[in-house]
Amino acid sequence: MLRLYRAMSGEIERISKENAELKQDLISLMNTTANTDILSSQIQFLNTTMTSALLNITKIQTEKPEDCKEILSSEPNSRSGVYTIYPDGTKGYSVYCDMTSQGGGWTVIQRRINGILDYDKTWKEYKDGFGDLIGEHWIGDGLNKDGYGDNNNMMFSTKDRDNDQWDKLCANHHKGGWWFKKCEYGCLNCKYLGSDSTWDAIQYKSTWMMIR
């Protein structure tokens, strides 16, 4: 915001200065001779200056993309990778953007590739985010626009915060934080147990969660 303000105020200062100079020129012109050719070229110059200033302001404003979709819209050739987004318009967050799957522009909120990262984390860790953006990771809240409360209208539970409807703790049972109700299927953060699985729930080794 400060950067935007500085850039805009710099632009405004420059225009004001040019306007003042122009005014001075016009006054001296009027004081000497009514040279319409010079006047019209001055007006044209002012128009060009204004147009380019407006373009610059627009460019500065779009330098703070809200999400990956906006990045792809302004730069259609953007590749998948780590970008800074500004979900609330001020604070920047690093995220991985998937620019190819189904039209691209996806902000990745969770990514599991090979099970190397432990998802059995605390509430605070889920809130802050963990892992490596170019590898397995979970981004913290504040980025997840849907928040932590919209899977069967359940609140998010972790090993240290029980918001589920089971008499025990689903997050402990499945070794991962999720919007558990009574430990139902489909937990994408739960531990992958491979062929050793004794859980009745479906296990996932490789998953992506993305929003657009």
Q: Which residues bind Ca ion (CB under 5 A)?
A: 162, 164, 166
CB of 158 to Ca ion, least distance (A): 12
CB of 155 to Ca ion, least distance (A): 11
Give CB contacts under 8 A, 24+ apart, made by 158-165: 158/121, 158/122, 158/123, 158/125, 158/126, 159/120, 159/121, 159/122, 160/122, 160/123, 161/123
Considering the complex, state which of residue 93 and residue 166 has its C-beta at the smaller distance from Ca ion: 166
Side-chain half-sphere CA neighbours of 112 within 13 A: 19
At 125 the three-state DSSP class reads: helix
Considering the complex, state which of residue 93 and residue 199 has its C-beta at the smaller distance from Ca ion: 199
CB of 90 to Ca ion, least distance (A): 37
CB of 140 to Ca ion, least distance (A): 23
Considering the complex, state which of residue 166 and residue 192 has its C-beta at the smaller distance from Ca ion: 166
Q: What are phi and psi of 11, to 5 degrees?
A: -65, -45
Considering the complex, state which of residue 72 and residue 171 has its C-beta at the smaller distance from Ca ion: 171
